[in-house]
Structure 1
């Protein structure tokens, strides 16, 4: 398989020995809003998971989870290494996090933040994640049941959440980041667009002055 840059893309090589633990990275990003819902869903799943899993849970401003492997933040290099080491990646709907996961060969399991629950300032993560989910570029999970099902599926068959990795395509990544930013801006603008205000000249009963 060859990408636009001409480099050959190879699938990630994972440790499939019988004693190997599945390595799961969960990343909620650096947004100042807590994301208790995702962390709680993960803890509930972990408590009943049949197979041992090695967790790294980057929980940001969310209180530390009651599972091993919790860390508030990861620097850029540490996050890159965690992405490279992971067998499965669960993340919020942040465009940059999603792109990094795919660049490292993951089909990310995405739980977008919901502004109605105080998890973000707007719904751009929901809009963006749903668009990518419909295109098959992420595994979209908006309920606890969907997340638990995705994780169970991933443990049973890691290849279900693997894509071709191309860690050297830096220029293609920059272009992708720019395009993602444009898409997010368009989605947010469309979601927040309001009809123009009525002006006095359009309402004969209000006189000649424009009202604001």
Structure 2
């Protein structure tokens, strides 16, 4: 399954919702797709969708998904990272009336460059390529997501062992 979320920002993200629907229609995406559409006005015809999804169900969908596609809001792309998924992130852009400015583009590119833990797709025409080549993109990632909890626990364990 592919799970897509546009978050809760009060502007539409029709560009992403429509492109995913077209990729499904055209057979580029063959598996099930579920889209959380938020304030988007485009209603998908080829994908399952819901305007809003409660957080526990969002988490369940992220866990079930083979690929998670999100907008560039940190809460939306951090959740997949927390459960070990590497999301494809499509930042909202001001020129499409998706946000007030292009901070998502700048922030997402900075995260991708610094940590290598997300795939950023600015040009929506390249989204199909990213989805079809997801496994190869993942293998070529410069950084792998590491759990801060795991690091903390390992360091704490060393301290405790030294004390005993």
What's the TM-score bracket when you normalise by the shorter of the two chains?
Answer: 0.7 to 0.9
2:72 aligned with 1:110, yes or no? no
The 5 A counterparts of 1:70-89 are: 70-89=49-68
Q: In the alignment, what sits opposite 1:99?
A: 78
Give the CA deviation at 1:50: 5.1
Give TM-score scaled by structure 2 length. Answer: 0.79
Q: How many pairs align? A: 146
Residue 52 of structure 1 is aligned with which of 30, 35, 60? 30
Give the CA deviation at 1:48: 2.1
Further displaced range: 157-166 or 89-98: 157-166
Structure 1: segments with no counterpart, 5+ residues: 1-22, 173-212
Q: In the alignment, what sits opposite 1:196?
A: none
Bigger helix fraction: 2
2:133 aligned with 1:153, yes or no? yes
Distance 2:149 2:45 in 1: 38
Q: Deviations over 1:17-46 (max 9, x none)?
A: xxxxxx100000011100011112112211
Q: In the alignment, what sits opposite 1:139?
A: 119
Q: CA RMSD in A?
A: 2.4
Distance 2:106 2:137 in 1: 27
User: Do 2:28 and 2:128's aligned partners in 1 also have CA atoms closer than 8 Å?
Assistant: no
Q: In the alignment, what sits opposite 1:30?
A: 8
Structure 2: segments with no counterpart, 5+ residues: 153-164
